[in-house]
Structure 1
Amino acid sequence: MHTDQGKTSIADTVVQKISGIAAREVPGVHAMGNAARRAFDQITERIPGSQTNASGGVSVEKGEKQTAIDVTIVVEYGASIVEVSNNIRRNIISAVERTTGLEVIEVNVTVSDVHLPTDDDNTNAEDSNQTRTSSTGKELE
């Protein structure tokens, strides 16, 4: 973006993060990204000092004044996929245009999975059955 006083450049990652945050705010979105992305994020979350990846599941094509955004989500079972997708589009367009001044020409939403309530039960059962050990190899209670 050029003005008489200079040029402002916005990195693709800025648009990705804003879009990711805006998508996660929508009710019915359980997670972002495909299975591989989510598995990687789960591993990195366990590393002390690591931060949540706000741009996971988001890709951006950006020009000087316009941007197109692709989002991959996991929707909660029972949520209307059409409604969730429309709300994601609205939220992303509003957030990106308001904060960056870029015109969002399209937001494409891919639903890669449906999160079932039983998925949480299986995860909790797996976690509770695992033996945890310290870095010295001692079993933790």
Structure 2
Amino acid sequence: MNENHILELEEQKSELGKIEISPEVIEVIAGIAASEVDGVATMRGNFATGVAEKLGRKNHGKGVKVELDEEGIIVDVSVVITYGVSVPEIANLIQSNIKQALQTMTAIDIQAVNVHVVGVQFETHEHLDEEGK
């Protein structure tokens, strides 16, 4: 692992120089890809991301942890799903969407995408009232 926690794309090295991608960029790409899947209610971050969002700072990498090693990257995603969806189906869609987005945007080898379902969100009464009208 690089000591500066920057992932170098060796296959993108040319006479012009090298390309480096920060793990934070990978977290953002994976976070957006996961939240695009229907059935994902929210991403689950830690206390610090919750405080930052309350202060008005949007964190697209929320709920995503990236580990770098010699064989590629491991992405861990923590999500809250919508009640009534198929957990295995949503998890597979999240894995596929993240893998496709990262390969398309970064050309990095992905070792694993681990999905952690940490909660279920039920419909709120406001949402039910709007549908009932």
TM-score interval w.r.t. the shorter chain?
0.7 to 0.9
Distance 1:83 1:29 in 2: 11
Match for residue 11 of structure 1? 22
**TM-score normalised by the chain length of structure 1:** 0.73
Distance 1:60 1:40 in 2: 17
Q: Verify: 1:107 aligned to 2:118, yes or no.
A: no
Cα shift at 1:41: 4.9
Q: Deviations over 1:70-97 (max 9, x none)?
A: 0000000001100100000000000001
Q: Which amino acid aligns with 2:125?
A: D
More strand by share: 2
Distance 1:93 1:57 in 2: 16
Cα shift at 1:62: 2.0
Identity %: 34
Match for residue 73 of structure 1? 79
How many residues in Structure 1 have an aligned counterpart in Structure 2?
A: 115
**TM-score normalised by the chain length of structure 2:** 0.77
Match for residue 125 of structure 2? 121
Match for residue 95 of structure 2? 89
Distance 1:4 1:52 in 2: 35
**Alpha-carbon contact 2:71-2:111 (below 8 Å) kept:** no
Structure 2: state its 5+ residue gaps.
1-8, 127-133
Distance 1:10 1:65 in 2: 16
Displaced runs of 4 or more, over 6 A: none
Question: What is the root-mean-square deviation of aligned Cα atoms in Å?
Answer: 2.1
